[in-house]
Amino acid sequence: MNLDQLFLTVMTVMGVVLGVILAIYPEARGLYIFVPVAMAAIELVCLIRPDRIAASRLSTQMRLLGFVLAILLMVLIPLFAGQAAGDV
């Protein structure tokens, strides 16, 4: 698994987890800040590690794709959960 795949996996998991939390607790809208925090944590780990992963950097396209993916999941999961709960 290369760095781009790891980053997209972490951002997908982050988006799904925060989306589910927002679907259960809609008043927790302040959780959006954790997406850039997770992105910064991954960058920090890449800079600190002394092995070959530190030499490879994330491309701008991967950063943008991961950010958009996480935000979309955070928005769409509560939206679909709310619509499904409203139909019952």
Q: Are 62 and 5 in contact (CB under 8 A)?
A: no
Q: End-to-end alpha-carbon separation of the chain, Å?
A: 42
What global pTM score does this model have? 0.78
Residue 50 has pLDDT above 80, yes or no: no
pLDDT at 33 over 90: no
Q: Please give the average per-residue pLDDT across 40-50, as a whole number.
A: 80
Question: 19: closest CA among 8, 7, 31?
Answer: 31
pLDDT of residue 69: 94
Gap between the Cα atoms of 4 and 61, Å rounded: 10
When pLDDT is cut at 50, 70 and 90, the band that residue 56 belongs to is low
* C-alpha–C-alpha distance, residues 73 and 61, integer Å: 18
Do 70 and 62 form a contact (C-beta atoms < 8 A)? no
Q: What is the CA radius of gyration of the chain?
A: 15
